[in-house]
């Protein structure tokens, strides 16, 4: 389950209206309008800043969908 | 009997450095047809079918590369073991160890064969040492199969797949003959699961495979070879003997030649694989329809660009993410210089890669203002704007290909000088008159490229409704037609040298 907070960070970074965008566990980056390989890093930095966490590069590279990214955020926040 | 000189048969089957088994040759089609007959016979026994494919692949590679076959076998054995041990490692440190060992092995072998002389020359040029260049021959396909193997190791490391337990399957993945010499650089994660699937071809699969083979032959022999031998090579060999307008047409012609040569090869490879029951990854998607350089790289040599995106750009970008835009730009430049270097150890290739890195970096910098401008004037869906973007992108790409094609830096500069200083547009009419077939082929080549892509789908559909005998007749007619147009001996595929 993707939290509203994570969804909002992603949508803000991509200038999208969260109410018009569907993001679930299985959603992959290219399915979200504007989420391309170039601004991927911006989204990750925005998430890190908002949650006050720091990911390892490899941890992010292993995420193949938003569900995995949410799980990564959760694991960092609960620490 | 039948006028066949049987004493020549062993020669046909043995390694001959000047006579690899090219996809367009009649010997290849004869042998492939034989392979298909047995392959279908063995369809029920997976083991027999796969073993047959491995034997044919080994023979195919041996015919092109002789004893370098041993390097290929070593690659398969080593990476299978690295993958297996990485899978067994229980700690991240253990996995990392096998990753580093594999990188050291794969890149070490590649660098030795491909880049040793480049670095020796560099040392001599900057007068650090007095060294002799080594007599090293580049094994065919090494850049392609090394990257295939690395994708297997890297995907295990990134936990995208489990290592395979079957050495036979891994060996087939590495040596699979349709893509061994020039790609597509297929991924183990997509290829391995297909090996043990039941061999079944739908009517659509057969039509799809046959159409790709036919299109590949037409692209390669009717367009690429013809315009290269009759026009492009002559201009690039001595640009100063031609006017600017001819140089410009040669630059456009070369863009088409390179596309038809390489995508023609990929089409045939994907088509052959399809007839054997394997779906290889797409390698080209109408690249000259691209509206920006980043769009171009999503359509050109996709198996390489996606490889570098995944395994080079992304890790670099993540590591440099705190630099924000500067991090992205640094990662882009490094990735594209590597794209250039992958193609060959020369300054011209490095510059070609750097140029694309710079194009991409500029694209990134103007992305925001461009979007605002388009939104302000409501241009997002403008067809005129789309056409202008395609035109500009094509010219940027064609310009970069001057460095890709020219034998050295100074001849590339000569081409550009001729275009700027001696353009002489009136020569265009003379060119059309004296090089009519070349002009018609270049025109038709681009015309077909810009037709709607749905046409391909419709043709496949039409072909799939035809009887197998009608399909065979069409294939024979295309092969016959192609050989009629064939100007000289089949030219080696450009991407063989990489």
Q: Which domain holds residue B120?
A: 13-195
Question: Do residue B314 and residue A37 have CB atoms under 8 angstroms apart?
Answer: yes
Q: How many CB pairs under 8 A join A and B?
A: 36
Strands (E), B239-371: none
- Which has the closest alpha carbon to B254: B489, B446, B450? B446
Question: Do residue B322 and residue A45 have CB atoms under 8 angstroms apart?
Answer: yes
Question: Is B248 found in the same domain as B186?
Answer: no
Residue B354 in any domain: the answer is: yes
Chain A positions touching B318 (Cβ under 8 A) are 41, 44, 57, 60-61
Please indicate if any CB of chain A lies within 8 Å of the CB of B328: yes
Q: What is the pLDDT of residues B90-99, one digit of tens each?
A: 999 999 999 9
Question: Is B435 found in the same domain as B342?
Answer: yes
Q: What is the pLDDT of residues B371-401, one digit of tens each?
A: 889 989 988 888 999 999 999 999 999 999 9
Contact B245, B427 (CB under 8 A): yes
Residue B456 in any domain: the answer is: yes
Residue B5 in any domain: the answer is: no
Residue B489, pLDDT score? 62
DSSP calls for B50-112:
HHHHHHHHHHHHHHHHGGGHHHHHHHHHHHHHHHHHHHH--SHHHHHHHHHHHHHHHHHHHHH
Query: Among B143, B169, B195, which residue terminates a domain?
Result: B195
Of B159, B319, B364, the CB nearest to A57: B319
Compute the distance between CA of residue B281 and CA of residue B423 in angstroms, rounded to an integer: 42
Compute the distance between CA of residue B460 and CA of residue A15 in angstroms, rounded to an integer: 41
The overall average pLDDT reported for chain B is: 92
Question: Do residue B314 and residue A61 have CB atoms under 8 angstroms apart?
Answer: yes
H helix or E strand, kind and range, residue B449: helix B436-450
Compute the distance between CA of residue B206 and CA of residue B274 in angstroms, rounded to an integer: 7
Question: Is B290 found in the same domain as B183?
Answer: no
Question: Do residue A38 and residue B294 have CB atoms under 8 angstroms apart?
Answer: yes
Residue B8 in any domain: the answer is: no
Question: Do residue B159 and residue A62 have CB atoms under 8 angstroms apart?
Answer: yes
Tokens matching residue A52:
């006050």
Contact A47, A41 (CB under 8 A): no
Question: Is B160 found in the same domain as B86?
Answer: yes
- Which has the closest alpha carbon to B421: B244, B274, B199? B244
Contact A4, A24 (CB under 8 A): no
CA angle B224, B225, B226 (to 5 degrees): 95
Confidence of residue B490 (pLDDT cuts 50, 70, 90): low
Residue B26, pLDDT score? 81
Question: Is B180 found in the same domain as B261?
Answer: no
Confidence of residue B197 (pLDDT cuts 50, 70, 90): very high
Q: What is the pLDDT of residues B428-452, one digit of tens each?
A: 998 898 889 899 999 999 999 999 9
Please indicate if any CB of chain A lies within 8 Å of the CB of B374: no
CA angle B261, B262, B265 (to 5 degrees): 90
pLDDT at B5 over 70: no
Please indicate if any CB of chain B lies within 8 Å of the CB of A45: yes
Chain A positions touching B159 (Cβ under 8 A) are 62
Please indicate if any CB of chain A lies within 8 Å of the CB of B330: no
Please report the domains of chain A, with CATH numbers, ordered by start residue. Answer: 4-77 (1.10.1200.10)
Q: Is the peptide bond before B184 cis (omega within 30 degrees of 0)?
A: yes
Compute the distance between CA of residue A46 and CA of residue B362 in angstroms, rounded to an integer: 23
Question: Is B418 found in the same domain as B341?
Answer: yes
Residue B6 in any domain: the answer is: no
Residue B277, pLDDT score? 96
Provide the phi-psi class of B270: left if phi over 0, else alpha when psi is between -120 and 50, else beta. alpha
Residue B375, pLDDT score? 87
Residue B3 in any domain: the answer is: no
Please indicate if any CB of chain A lies within 8 Å of the CB of B366: no
Lowest-pLDDT range, A25-34, B23-32, B194-203, B440-449?
B23-32
Residue B1, pLDDT score? 42
List of residues 6+ apart from B37 with CB closer than 8 A: none
Query: Among B137, B171, B195, which residue terminates a domain?
Result: B195
Residue B4 in any domain: the answer is: no
Tokens matching residue B117:
């002389």
pLDDT at B15 over 70: yes
CA distance B321 to chain A (A): 6
Compute the distance between CA of residue A43 and CA of residue A21 in angstroms, rounded to an integer: 16
Contact B20, B68 (CB under 8 A): no
% of chain B with per-residue pLDDT over 70:
96
Question: Do residue B318 and residue A61 have CB atoms under 8 angstroms apart?
Answer: yes
Residue B232, pLDDT score? 94
Of B315, B327, B367, the CB nearest to A61: B315
Chain B positions touching A38 (Cβ under 8 A) are 294, 328, 364, 367
Question: Is B214 found in the same domain as B191?
Answer: no
Catalytic option among B343, B356, B449, B456:
B343
Question: Is B178 found in the same domain as B273?
Answer: no
Report the b/e string of B111-128 with b at 16+ CB within 10 A: eebbbebbebeeeeeeee
Q: What is the pLDDT of residues B339-366, one digit of tens each?
A: 999 998 888 899 999 999 999 999 999 9
Contact B197, B259 (CB under 8 A): no
Question: Do residue B324 and residue A57 have CB atoms under 8 angstroms apart?
Answer: no
Question: Is B270 found in the same domain as B145?
Answer: no
List of residues 6+ apart from B429 with CB closer than 8 A: none
Chain B positions touching A58 (Cβ under 8 A) are 158
Residue B87 in any domain: the answer is: yes
Tokens matching residue B431:
């060119």
Tokens matching residue B88:
């067994």
Residue B3, pLDDT score? 56
Question: Is B27 found in the same domain as B48?
Answer: yes
How many CA atoms, within 13 angstroms, populate the side-chain half-sphere of residue B53?
Answer: 33
Question: Is B155 found in the same domain as B51?
Answer: yes
Please indicate if any CB of chain A lies within 8 Å of the CB of B324: yes
Q: How many CB atoms lie within 10 A of CB B225?
A: 25
**What average pLDDT does the segment B274-278 reach?**
96
pLDDT at A9 over 80: yes
Confidence of residue B6 (pLDDT cuts 50, 70, 90): low
Question: Do residue A38 and residue B158 have CB atoms under 8 angstroms apart?
Answer: no
Please indicate if any CB of chain A lies within 8 Å of the CB of B359: no
Residue B343 annotated as catalytic: yes
> In terms of CA atoms, which chain A residue is nearest residue B312?
A61
pLDDT at B106 over 70: yes
> The complex's ipTM?
0.93
Of B158, B294, B328, the CB nearest to A41: B328
How many domains is chain B built from? 2
Question: Do residue A64 and residue B324 have CB atoms under 8 angstroms apart?
Answer: no
Compute the distance between CA of residue B176 and CA of residue B174 in angstroms, rounded to an integer: 6
Query: Among B195, B214, B232, which residue terminates a domain?
Result: B195
Q: What is the pLDDT of residues B138-196, one digit of tens each?
A: 899 999 999 999 999 999 999 999 999 999 999 999 999 999 999 899 999 999 999 99
Q: How many helices (H) and strands (E) does chain A have?
A: 4, 0
Chain A positions touching B309 (Cβ under 8 A) are 37
Question: Is B236 found in the same domain as B154?
Answer: no
Contact B402, B415 (CB under 8 A): yes
């Amino acid at each position: 389950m993707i939290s509203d907070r994570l969804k909002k960070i992603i949508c803000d970074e991509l200038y999208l209206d969260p109410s018009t965008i569907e993001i679930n566990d299985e959603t992959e980056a290219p399915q979200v309008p504007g989420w391309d390989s170039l601004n991927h890093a911006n989204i990750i930095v925005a998430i890190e800043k908002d949650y006050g966490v720091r990911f390892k590069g490899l941890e992010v590279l292993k995420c193949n969908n938003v569900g995995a990214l949410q799980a990564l955020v959760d694991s960092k926040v609960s620490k | 009997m039948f006028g066949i000189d049987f004493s020549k048969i062993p020669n046909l089957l043995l390694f001959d450095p000047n006579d690899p088994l090219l996809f367009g040759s009649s010997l290849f089609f004869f042998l492939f047809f034989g392979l298909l007959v047995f392959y279908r016979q063995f369809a029920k026994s997976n083991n027999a079918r796969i073993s047959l494919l491995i034997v044919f692949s080994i023979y195919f590679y041996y015919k092109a590369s002789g004893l370098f076959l041993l390097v290929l076998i070593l690659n398969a054995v080593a990476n299978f073991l690295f993958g297996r041990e990485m899978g067994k490692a229980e700690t991240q440190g253990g996995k990392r160890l096998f990753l580093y060992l594999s990188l050291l092995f794969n890149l070490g072998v590649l660098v030795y064969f491909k880049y040793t002389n480049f670095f020796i020359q560099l040392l001599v040029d900057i007068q650090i040492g007095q060294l002799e260049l080594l007599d090293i021959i580049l094994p065919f396909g090494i850049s392609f199969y090394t990257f295939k193997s690395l994708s297997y190791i890297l995907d295990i490391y990134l936990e995208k797949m489990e290592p395979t337990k079957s050495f036979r399957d891994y060996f087939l993945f590495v040596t699979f003959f349709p893509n061994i010499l020039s790609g597509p650089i297929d991924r183990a994660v997509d290829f391995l699961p297909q090996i043990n699937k039941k061999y079944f071809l739908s009517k659509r699969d057969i039509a799809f495979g046959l159409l790709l083979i036919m299109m590949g032959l037409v692209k390669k022999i009717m367009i690429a070879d013809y315009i290269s031998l009759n026009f492009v090579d002559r201009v690039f060999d001595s640009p100063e003997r031609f006017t600017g307008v001819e140089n410009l047409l040669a630059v456009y012609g070369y863009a088409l030649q390179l596309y038809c040569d390489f995508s023609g090869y990929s089409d045939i490879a994907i088509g052959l694989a399809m007839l054997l029951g394997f779906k290889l990854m797409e390698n080209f998607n109408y690249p000259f329809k691209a509206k920006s350089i980043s769009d171009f790289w999503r359509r050109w040599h996709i198996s390489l660009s996606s490889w570098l995106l995944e395994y080079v750009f992304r890790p670099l970008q993540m590591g440099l993410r705190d630099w924000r835009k500067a991090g992205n730009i640094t990662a882009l430049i490094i990735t594209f210089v590597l794209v250039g270097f992958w193609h060959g150890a020369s300054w011209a290739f490095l510059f070609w890669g750097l140029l694309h890195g710079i194009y991409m970096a500029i694209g990134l910098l103007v992305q925001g203002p461009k979007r605002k401008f388009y939104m302000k004037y409501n241009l997002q869906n403008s067809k005129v704007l789309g056409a202008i973007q395609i035109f500009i992108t094509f010219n940027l790409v064609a310009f970069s290909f001057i460095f890709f094609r020219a034998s050295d830096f100074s001849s590339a500069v000569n081409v550009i000088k001729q275009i700027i200083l001696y353009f002489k547009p009136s020569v265009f009419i003379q060119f059309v008159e004296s090089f009519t077939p070349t002009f018609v082929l270049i025109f038709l080549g681009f015309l077909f490229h810009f037709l709607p892509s749905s046409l391909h789908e419709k043709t496949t559909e039409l072909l799939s409704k035809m009887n197998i005998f009608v399909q065979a007749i069409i294939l024979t007619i295309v092969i016959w037609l192609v050989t009629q147009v064939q100007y000289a001996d089949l030219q080696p595929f450009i991407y063989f040298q990489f």
